[in-house]
Amino acid sequence: MPRGAVKKFSTASNTIRKMVATADKFGNAGIKNQQLTTFEIFDILPLIPGTTLNFFQNVNTRQFPFTNIQENRLQVGESMVIKRIWFTLVTEFDGGIIDVQTLDQAGLAKYYLSQFSWSNDNSRVLKDLSLTNQMPEFNRKGWSESNNVFHLETDITIQPLIRFVCSLQLPAGAPVLNTFIGCHAGGVGTLLSPKGVY
């Protein structure tokens, strides 16, 4: 490298480095030997205006397609860095899901005034962020009129076997029949890989 040059690392490298460094602090040095992957977790709850919903808590009482995890913690060998969070409106009819939309598409834009917090093992790591961060007008990475994904400013990790909850406070309003709201978190993660990585 030329003298005085600054070595630049990609965002992905920084994310992986954060995930491994945090795992090391928890005494989990084996994370760096696991299979890297793109990770998403989600949980869908009934939309009840004026309440606080705790996503991922008691997730064992729900089944796919209302969630894609069985516990509110990752398994041995699994870890995750949350890069993006988004909330969806889900319409159910006669026991089946018939639509998945953004808040705007569902005609429920007032719920952008909801606010959420994220806790790992009772330690709050995101506090009182409004869903207006998802709106394309206020979303720093909302490059289209319909991009409703909130890209976090910091890398938040989820470590294996550490319980996590996303709490969403909803404004008051009239009941919304057959409507659920889903919390989705996506990013980079690891999967247990006892035989090697690919």
The pLDDT tens digits of the residues spanning 151-191 come to: 999 989 999 999 999 999 999 999 999 999 999 999 998 98
Q: Is position 185 within any domain?
A: no
Q: Is position 103 within any domain?
A: yes
Whole-prediction pTM:
0.85
**Number of structural domains the chain divides into:** 1
User: How far is 22 from 159, CA to CA, in rounded Å?
Assistant: 8
Domain extent for 84: 41-180
Q: Is position 56 within any domain?
A: yes
pLDDT for the residue 187: 95
Q: Is position 99 within any domain?
A: yes
Q: Is position 27 within any domain?
A: no
Q: Is position 49 within any domain?
A: yes
Q: Who contacts 148 (Cβ-Cβ below 8 Å, separation ≥6)?
A: 86, 87, 102, 103, 104, 134, 135, 136, 139, 142
Question: What are the structure tokens assigned to 14, written together?
Answer: 């920084």
pLDDT for the residue 14: 80
pLDDT for the residue 197: 59
pLDDT for the residue 4: 43
Asked if residues 40 and 169 have their Cβ atoms less than 8 Å apart, the reply is no
Closest listed residue to residue 180, CA positions, set 64, 84, 72, 87: 87
Q: Is position 18 within any domain?
A: no
The residues of the chain scoring below 50 in pLDDT are 1-9
Three-state secondary structure string covering 110-126: HHHHCEEEEEECCEEEE
3-state SS class at 39? strand
